[in-house]
Structure 1
């Protein structure tokens, strides 16, 4: 499911996630190396036209990882750790490289990235928001396609 589908299913969680990612420019992307071990790198993300986009420099290791194995995890930048307004947000899914010149041109018009670049749209498999409620409970909101939003509270 793309970002628009998720936002239609869970608009409040989608707004919170977008706000967390908008709070900082750089976030952490996890991909899988050839040997299956994780690779974490910095990344800028964009929410445009109902999609969550991942743009990367040509030939970057993270782009090569995603070409080989599309699975990813994306963690919102926590900042200095003192003002996690909206909580912590993690998105997992599959990244699909976009080669279509018209789609890439539309992205360039909005974002003006340095060219050339790799562009991936995302298919979401999970969105998780973690936050503290009333200074007493850790709360996890967990969304997966086709399932109702699940909320877990831990004391």
Structure 2
């Protein structure tokens, strides 16, 4: 698994694009796996800071339980237009690690946002990445850049 910083060092332009897409609308969609293996989609606010990708969620929420049982995830930015001509699209997949030492992250969160949840009010996860996808429209075609850990980046244009 690669940290966000490791991915960003390998693909800085792609990382900047993906971070920008997630920052454009703080709300994103998180796919997790239920106990029976079926998918669950939940809202989440991902946070890219200090070379890491984080997400906090309500303690004991279904998405938190899912990730604690099976850490695999997929994260998708909010797509506001069907044509994607304005901004593009971004997806990240990998595994989530439940984080119990929250004080440093929460202090940094407060310094950046002014929001100060108590440690017991948040289940915190740090995400490692195995796949990052960037979709954009160029002319009449869709350009898909996909990075996979250990395989690098592949570009496909679809007309």
TM over 0.5: yes
Which residue among 114, 117, 127 is the counterpart of 1:114?
117
CA deviation profile, 1:8-30 (whole Å, cap 9, x unmatched): 00000000001100100211000
Q: SS at the partner of 1:149?
A: strand
Change (3 A) 1:64 1:76: same
Tell me whether 1:126 sits opposite 2:148 in the alignment.
no
Q: SS at the partner of 2:90?
A: strand
Q: Residue 61 of structure 1 aligns with which residue?
A: 62
- CA RMSD between the two structures: 1.7
State TM-score, norm by structure 1. Answer: 0.91
Contact 1:16 1:86 in 2 (8 A): no
Q: Residue 150 of structure 2 aligns with which residue?
A: 146
- d(CA) in 2 for partners of 1:133 and 1:91? 22
How many residues in Structure 1 have an aligned counterpart in Structure 2? Answer: 154
Show structure 1 runs of 5+ residues with no match: none
CA displacement at 1:84 relative to structure 2: 5.1
State TM-score, norm by structure 2. Answer: 0.89
- d(CA) in 2 for partners of 1:93 and 1:138? 24
- d(CA) in 2 for partners of 1:13 and 1:120? 23
